[in-house]
């Protein structure tokens, strides 16, 4: 029997990447194989994100591109999953009749049943927040060989209700997966070739599926012999407890890179955002983190032009960035999210947002480049992920998440390094978004 083809387009964060993998696995049990082209597909799934501006309109625009495909292949099934599906629900089917099924991020374990319903000619919709654990209902991961890095969702949802964010409404309340199930999934990934796992959650350091929280889970995972590296994202400053701080100092497998969003350096704006911490508390937390791990590279998120933000408020953000010295960061102009408290407040003019974003990104880029340049001459451990663009070259990531290019040729047309290997590298030069080094040992 010829396998059916499934095309998944993934928008947004790493959690959506993980979810798309699991949806593909669920549909694999129904005889579907993943294809990289919608033209070949028997089913198209858009796994959507609702965080950025005009997210829903971008989805409708993408759906419009499939009208010709649907007309040419009437049996083609088209589905919308993820956070836009959760937020829009049946409105998606009303506005775009070619959609056969809509499924929210907490219900995608029901994809086979929804697909069967759609195949029978009915529209299929499920945007509930079910009581059952979707991960327990999903078929086990296929046993195929994996690349050296993988995402692993351990926590979903958020209880913080930041004034700009739709996550509590689209992903629901904070829920943590039991530690034993996470550990089992991690062991399975490692058996298939994974050497680095990034633990995911909308508010991952609020994880409570282990008696000792996220730190306890990390320490358990570090006991898996062939798991060499552990990372986690995304965190909230208020959930960075003493145990997790200590883990950064004494857990060798936990990498010295921390993504810790602050959003603003102004206490007035932080209060209006409902962040429930001050700029000083954030800075003191980073001091404590760097006391236990001096080489820690920081990453952050920033929103400029939040409602009622003044130039003075923006300068407070610039001051905070100067104090922290970020190795990387993500910065955005505020965009209104319907249904959130901030959307109802007086808005900052777009030209002011543009100007502030340009200045902030200029400072962040300068810091990122300075910290990257400072790596020249240092020795790092690189986990190699893929061949480079140049012959005889391999590319991997350092402990600090820098991309590192290395000539690994053996002089006979082969390589001294394989994908998945860890090797000590001396950094020789710094490029725009990467480093170059030479192999010292493997």
pLDDT in tens, 292-343: 999 999 999 999 999 999 999 999 999 999 999 999 999 999 988 877 889 8
Task: Judge if 213 and 332 occupy the same domain.
Answer: yes
For residues 174 and 36, state if they share a domain. Answer: no
Overall domain count for the chain: 3
Residues 297 and 367 in one domain: yes
Full domain range(s) for residue 403: 379-441
Residue 232's CATH number: 3.80.30.20
Position 139 pLDDT exceeds 90: no
| Strand bridging mode 175-176 / 196-200 | unpaired
Q: Is the pLDDT of residue 358 over 60?
A: yes
Locate the DSSP E strands across 187-327. 196-200, 229-233, 257-259, 297-304
What does the pLDDT read at residue 421?
Answer: 96
The dihedral sign for the CA sequence 80, 84, 86, 90: negative
* Res. 22 pLDDT band, cuts 50 70 90: confident
Q: What is the pLDDT of residue 136?
A: 62
Contact 345, 305 (CB under 8 A): no
Q: Does 142 lie in the same domain as 239? A: yes
- The yes-or-no verdict on residue 2 having pLDDT over 90 is no
Give the pLDDT confidence score for residue 279 in this predicted structure. Answer: 98
Tell me: is residue 83 an annotated ligand-binding position.
Answer: yes
- For residues 152, 154, 156 and 158, what is the CA-based torsion angle, rounded to 10 degrees? -120
Instruction: Kindly state whether residues 92 and 34 are assigned to the same domain.
Output: yes
Point out the domain boundary residue: 373, 397, 420.
373
Residues 240 and 315 in one domain: yes
Flag whether pLDDT at 129 surpasses 90: no
- Around Cβ 432, how many Cβ atoms within 10 Å? 7
Cα-atom radius of gyration of the chain, to the nearest Å? 23
Q: Decide which of 321, 345, 373 is a domain's last residue.
A: 373
**Per-residue model confidence (pLDDT) at position 140:** 56
Same domain membership, residue 390 and residue 317: no
pLDDT single digits (tens) 244-303: 999 999 999 999 999 999 999 999 999 999 999 999 999 999 999 999 999 999 999 999
Q: Look at residues 67, 12, 69, 58 and name the one whose alpha carbon lies nearest to residue 35.
A: 69
Q: Averaged over 171-183, what is the pLDDT?
A: 91
In this structure, is the dihedral angle defined by the CA atoms of residues 292, 261, 318 and 273, taken in order, positive or negative?
negative
384 to 148, 405, 411, 437: CA distances (angstroms): 8, 9, 19, 13
Tokens for 233, please give them. 């994202």
163 and 302, same structural domain?
Answer: yes
Are both 122 and 245 inside the same structural domain?
A: no
Per-residue pLDDT reduced to its tens digit, 184-237: 999 999 999 999 999 999 999 999 999 999 999 999 999 999 999 999 999 999
CA distance linking residue 161 with residue 158, whole number of Å: 7
Query: Are residues 155 and 93 part of one domain?
Result: no
The CATH code of the domain that includes 404 is 2.40.50.140
Question: Which CATH number covers residue 98?
Answer: 3.40.50.12160
pLDDT in tens, 389-421: 888 899 999 999 999 999 999 888 788 999 999
Instruction: Check if the beta carbon of residue 251 is closer than 8 Å to that of residue 292.
Output: no
User: Has residue 132 got a pLDDT over 60?
Assistant: no
Looking at residues 333-356, what average pLDDT do you find?
91
Instruction: Return the pLDDT at 1.
Output: 57
120 & 144 share domain: no
Q: In this structure, how many other beta carbons lie within 10 angstroms of the beta carbon of residue 141?
A: 16
Single residue among 85, 105, 126 that ends a domain in this structure? 126
Q: 202 and 170 in one domain?
A: yes
Q: Is 251 annotated as a binding residue?
A: no
pLDDT at 142 over 90: no
């Amino acid at each position: 029997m010829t396998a059916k083809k499934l095309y998944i387009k993934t928008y947004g964060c790493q959690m959506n990447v993980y979810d798309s993998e699991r949806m593909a696995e669920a549909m694999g049990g129904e005889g579907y194989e993943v294809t990289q082209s919608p033209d070949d597909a028997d089913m198209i799934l858009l796994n959507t994100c609702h965080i950025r501006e005009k997210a829903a309109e971008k989805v409708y625009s993408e759906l419009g591109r499939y009208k010709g495909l649907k007309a040419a292949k009437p049996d083609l099934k088209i589905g919308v999953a993820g956070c836009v599906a959760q937020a829009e629900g049946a409105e998606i089917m009303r506005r775009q009749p070619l959609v056969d099924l809509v499924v929210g991020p907490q219900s995608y374990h029901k994809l086979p049943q929804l697909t069967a319903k759609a195949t029978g000619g009915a529209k299929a919709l499920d945007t509930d927040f079910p009581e059952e654990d979707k991960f327990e209902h999903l078929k086990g991961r296929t046993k195929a060989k994996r690349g050296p890095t993988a995402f692993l969702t351990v926590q979903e949802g958020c209880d913080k209700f930041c004034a700009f964010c739709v996550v509590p409404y689209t992903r629901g309340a904070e829920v943590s997966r039991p530690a034993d199930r996470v550990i089992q999934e991690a062991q399975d990934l490692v058996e298939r070739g994974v050497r680095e796992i990034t633990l995911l959650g909308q508010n991952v350091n609020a994880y409570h599926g282990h008696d000792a929280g996220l730190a306890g889970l990390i320490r358990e995972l570090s006991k898996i012999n062939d798991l060499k590296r552990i990372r986690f994202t995304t965190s909230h400053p208020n959930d960075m407890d003493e145990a997790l701080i200590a883990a950064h100092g004494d857990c060798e497998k936990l990498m010295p890179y921390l993504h810790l969003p602050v959003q603003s350096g102004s206490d007035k704006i932080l209060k209006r955002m409902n962040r429930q911490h001050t700029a000083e508390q954030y800075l003191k937390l980073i001091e404590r983190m760097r006391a236990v791990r001096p080489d820690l590279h920081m990453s952050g998120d920033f929103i400029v032009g939040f409602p009622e933000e003044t130039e003075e408020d923006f300068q407070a953000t610039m001051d905070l960035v100067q104090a922290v010295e970020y190795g990387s960061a993500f910065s955005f102009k505020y965009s209104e999210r319907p249904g959130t408290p901030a959307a109802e407040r007086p808005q900052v003019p777009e030209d002011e947002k543009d100007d502030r974003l340009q200045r902030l990104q200029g400072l962040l880029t300068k810091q990122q480049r300075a910290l990257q340049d400072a790596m020249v001459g240092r020795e790092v451990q690189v986990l190699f992920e893929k061949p480079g663009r140049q012959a005889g070259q391999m590319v991997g990531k350092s402990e600090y998440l820098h991309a590192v290019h290395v000539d690994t040729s053996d002089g006979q047309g082969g390589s001294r390094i394989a994908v998945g290997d860890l090797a000590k590298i001396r950094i020789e030069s710094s490029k725009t978004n990467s480093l170059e080094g030479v192999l010292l040992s493997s």
